[in-house]
C-alpha cells in the first residue's frame, strides 16, 4: 500500500511538472525524494533509531516509551447510570391474589345447578327438647312435716326412710297408697282404700243377738265384705253398740236396730257384698262393737271381713 502511494505521488509530480512548469516540478521531486528516503529507511533496516530493541516501531526518535493520552476502549469499561437489577422496584397497580370485585361491573350471567338453600332438608336422629329415658329411677319421698298446702312433695330428702312401711307395722308418715276421691271440696278429697285383713266366720242357729266384732277404744270398725245365707226364712240385721250384745247406744249398720229392719231373707236366701278391699260399712262411733241380730232359729252361715283402726 505504501509503494503504491509513492508511485502515485511520483506520477502525480511528473504530470504536475509538465503542466505548471519547472519550479513546481522541483518542489514535487523534493517531496517524492523525502518519501522515498523514509520508505527506504524502513525497508532496508539501516535506521535502527526508530525501532526498539524488541523490534517495536517508536513514535519519535527518543527511543523511549511514550505516554499516550486520549480516550481508549478498555477491556473493562466503567459504566454509570441506572441499570437492570436482579430485583427491580416496581410501582403501579398489579394483579393481586385476591381481587376486589364490584358487582356493578360484573355482567349478569344466568347460573344453573343445585345451590345452597336458606332452609335445608335434614334427615337423621337429632337432640330433642324432651328425651326418652330408660332405666331405673329412684324417687325418695320427703320427711314428715315437710309438705305444704301448695306442694305436697318437699325438696328436702327423707333422712329416716320412713316412706317404706313394714308389714304389720304402723304406716309411715309419708306413704304411697291406692286411693280414690272421697267427700270434701268441689273436686273431693283423696281417700285411702281400706284393706280388710280380719275375718269373722258366721255360724248362728238361734233367734238371738250375737257379738261378732269387739270394738277397740278410739277406733272404728270397717267392714269390707259380707256373705251370708240362711236355711229358712230369716230376718238379719247388723248393728253397732257397746256391751256384750251391742245393747247400749245401738245403731243400725245395714238398716234399723231390730232384725225386722235388717235383711229379710227367704229360705236358702242370702247376700254377698264387698271383696275385702274398700269398706262397705263402718261404725259411726269409735269404740263400738258389731253384732248380728237374727229372727229365726235356723242355720245362718257366712263370713264377715273387717278391719279396726
DSSP 86: S
Q: How far apart are CA 260 and CA 237, in angstroms?
A: 7
Q: 45-66: buried (b, 16+ CB within 10 Å) or exposed (e) per residue?
A: eeeeeeeeeeeeeeeeeeeeee
E-state strands within the chain: 179-182, 189-192, 198-204, 209-213, 221-230, 234-242, 248-252, 263-265, 270-273, 281-282, 289-294, 300-308
The pTM of the full predicted model, rounded to 2 decimals, is: 0.48
Q: What is the pLDDT of residues 104-139, one digit of tens each?
A: 777 677 777 776 777 777 777 777 777 777 777 666
Architecture per CATH, domain 198-308, reads as Sandwich (2.60)
Mean pLDDT (the chain, rounded): 77
Q: How far apart are CA 302 and CA 205, in angstroms?
A: 12
Checking if the pLDDT of 2 tops 60, the result is: no
pLDDT band at 39 (very low <50, low <70, confident <90, very high): very low
What residues does 289 pair with on adjacent strands? 241
Q: What is the DSSP string of 171-212?
A: PPSS----EEEESSSTT-EEEEPPB--EEEEEEE-SSSEEEE
Q: How far apart are CA 253 and CA 97, in angstroms?
A: 104
Question: Are 237 and 258 a contacting pair, CB within 8 Å?
Answer: yes
Q: What is the pLDDT of residues 210-254, one digit of tens each?
A: 999 999 999 999 999 999 999 999 999 999 999 999 999 999 999
CA angle 166, 170, 171 (to 5 degrees): 75
Cell numbers 231390730 correspond to what residue?
A: 258
Q: How far apart are CA 232 and CA 296, in angstroms?
A: 8
Structural domain spans, the chain: 2-44, 198-308
Judged on CB neighbours under 10 Å (0-12, 13-18, 19+), 118 is exposed
Out of 106-115, 183-192, 195-204, give the one with best mean pLDDT. Answer: 195-204
How crowded is residue 202: how many other Cβ atoms within 10 Å of its Cβ?
A: 18
What's residue 269's pLDDT?
98
3-class SS of residue 27: helix
Question: Are 303 and 227 a contacting pair, CB within 8 Å?
Answer: yes
Q: What is the pLDDT of residues 251-289, one digit of tens each?
A: 999 999 999 999 999 999 999 999 999 999 999 999 999
Amino acid at each position: 500500500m505504501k509503494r503504491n502511494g509513492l508511485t502515485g505521488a511520483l506520477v502525480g509530480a511528473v504530470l504536475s511538472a509538465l503542466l505548471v512548469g519547472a519550479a513546481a516540478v522541483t518542489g514535487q521531486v523534493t517531496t517524492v525524494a523525502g518519501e522515498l528516503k523514509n520508505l527506504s529507511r524502513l525497508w532496508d533496516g539501516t535506521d535502527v533509531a526508530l525501532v526498539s530493541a524488541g523490534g517495536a516501531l517508536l513514535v519519535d526518535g527518543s527511543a523511549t516509551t511514550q505516554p499516550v493520552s486520549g480516550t481508549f476502549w478498555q477491556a473493562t469499561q466503567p459504566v454509570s447510570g441506572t441499570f437492570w437489577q436482579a430485583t427491580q422496584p416496581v410501582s403501579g397497580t398489579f394483579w393481586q391474589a385476591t381481587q376486589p370485585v364490584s358487582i356493578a361491573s360484573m355482567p349478569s350471567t344466568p347460573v344453573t345447578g343445585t345451590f345452597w338453600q336458606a332452609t335445608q332438608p335434614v334427615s337423621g336422629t337429632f337432640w330433642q327438647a324432651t328425651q326418652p329415658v330408660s332405666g331405673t329411677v329412684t324417687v325418695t319421698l320427703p320427711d314428715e312435716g315437710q309438705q305444704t298446702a301448695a306442694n305436697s312433695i318437699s325438696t328436702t330428702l327423707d333422712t329416716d326412710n320412713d316412706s317404706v312401711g313394714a308389714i304389720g307395722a304402723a304406716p309411715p308418715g309419708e306413704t304411697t297408697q291406692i286411693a280414690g276421691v272421697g267427700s270434701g271440696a268441689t273436686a273431693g278429697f283423696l281417700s285411702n282404700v281400706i284393706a280388710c285383713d280380719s275375718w269373722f266366720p258366721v255360724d248362728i242357729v238361734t233367734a238371738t243377738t250375737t257379738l261378732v266384732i269387739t270394738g277397740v277404744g278410739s277406733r272404728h270398725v270397717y267392714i269390707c265384705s259380707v256373705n251370708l245365707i240362711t236355711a229358712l226364712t230369716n230376718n238379719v240385721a247388723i248393728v253397732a253398740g257397746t256391751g256384750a250384745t251391742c245393747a247400749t247406744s245401738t245403731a243400725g249398720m245395714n238398716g234399723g236396730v231390730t232384725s225386722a229392719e235388717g235383711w229379710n231373707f227367704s229360705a236358702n236366701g242370702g247376700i254377698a257384698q264387698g271383696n275385702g278391699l274398700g269398706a262397705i260399712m263402718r261404725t259411726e262411733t269409735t269404740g263400738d262393737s258389731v253384732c248380728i241380730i237374727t229372727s229365726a232359729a235356723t242355720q245362718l252361715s257366712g263370713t264377715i271381713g273387717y278391719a279396726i283402726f
